[in-house]
Structure 1
Amino acid sequence: MKQQTIRATATVSGPLLHAPGSATVVFSPAAEDTGWVFIRSDLPGNPQIPCRPENIDVRYRWTTVRRGEASVSVVEHVLAACRGLEIDNLFISVDTDGIPMPDGGSAKPFVDALSGVGIICQAKPRNLLTIDRPVFVAGSRGDPMTEKIASSQSYIVALPGNGFEVIYVLEYPNTPLGTQIVKFDVNPDAFVREIAPARSFITSWELNRLQNEQATALFGPAIDEVPIVHPNHNFVQRLSLEAARHKALDLIGDLALLGRPIQGTFIGIRSGHRLNRELVLSLARQFEEANP
């Protein structure tokens, strides 16, 4: 299969999650072997941040890329859209330090914008990374701010496979979410229909805890569009198993930080951005050892 980019520029605007205000992201075609590159258009010199493992900086509820003094936060949804649509080369220019998060954190606005301008083939073949042996990472569920309410262990297993398969197991006992299991053969059609529309979510007790600790400054206006899970209320889902679908979306986006599309089967169990990062770093070390 050949590498791909977009035919023309595309734009998405919306509220920020990680800070007050809004942002606009502009997607532009890129040459073969460019990969996915973020550009801070608001900073002198328009510094670039390539999607590479060494540039990952996971924060509270999102993934950040950082190079020198320049950073861009909440990159996982836009990278999931790039990977899901099989776009290999793209410049992603943003006018502040974060990607906008419209539509409650789904990838649909990015998918609509990118597919709307057209995706074109390039001359060179796609440069796939391939899992050739099992890789396993484990950690505590969640992160330091939520470990008291989510203390179960979390795991991700990467296995050899012929395509790109993602399986995710979500467990929120005693809540409307319960246990959810999803499995996807990730290709553009499946991504657009079954993964991209899935919104993010936050639990009411997590939000209350943050408010009690006066930590709500972590969130910008995009949090108002994120569904809240209440223990004793029905969770209105856009599509079945929406929460697990969104976790699969996050994993797809974080795996893009390897810098190239990857082939294999990935099984996430109660995992999140921090463990996704550990998997990416572990895989990067494996690929470096195999190709010194």
Structure 2
Amino acid sequence: MTGNFPFKATLLGTGCPVVSPRRYGAGTLIECAGKCFLVDIGSGVTQRLVQAGCSGAQIDALLLTHLHSDHLIDLYQFIVSSWHQNRDRPQVIYGPPGTQSFVDAQMQAWKAERHLRIEFEKRSSTSAFDIDVIEFEDSREVMSEGDARISAVRVEHPPVEPAFGYAFEALGKKLVLSGDTRPCDALVDAAVQADVLVHEVFAHSHDDRSLVGGTRTSQTMSAVASYHTTADEVGRIARDARVKCLVLSHIVPPDANEKDLIAAVRRHYSGPVIVGEDLMSFDLLTGHFNQHQVHFSI
């Protein structure tokens, strides 16, 4: 039953592969139907999870959008820290084909160190190191319990295929996370009348000459733009899906001008627009947004 449980999302990391002390790697905590779900496990997400008042021991399932490093580089840190946090059950990980191989490689890489810890530290359980992986290639229902449902939505992020967004539905409310994608009809369909759409955003046009330099060639900018979604395009998606609130996340680059992002979205979408920040949370049942104050230094 879901009636007495919260339906809440917390942005753990709103950044991208570019290192930023303000915006950590991709990760979102979802509390739904009395369970805790983690979508992606990018750089620093394990620390942000604790800052959000949760831990790896409490996560019921990790849902991966795709196998890009900025979405899963903290995976082993998540696994071993959950053991430190007294997790006494196996990990459950959903993801695209290749997830099992990636998990196996991570566990093998740290096998000797892990066994040394286990033998020396004498903890009561090693269940946190048991991993159940569920792979899927196309859109599907991930979980259904009472009136709560989680669905994977296949999106477009070539050449990384498949890639997924996720839709969470409970108590008449709907939250949709885009994952990494270019504009995609399947995501628009999944997000129709969503209470909150959390969408990735590529902040500049691929032909912005001021950004070309160093390793950022014009060819690089064009390639990156081709599998992400510009702020202008996000506005069209939010409009076409008639979403009630739009939250921008996975911001590329992490220091993008927020006023420019909102102005571009506003060309097409007139509803509420929020530029996401790490540890921002929102309650789907009350509509309340809360921004934690995170202090950082360089």
**TM-score normalised according to structure 2 size:** 0.27
**Higher RCO, 1 vs 2 (CA within 8 Å, ≥6 residues apart):** 1
**Alignment TM-score, normalising by the size of structure 1:** 0.27
Which structure has the bigger radius of gyration? 2
The structure carrying a bigger strand percent of its residues is: 1
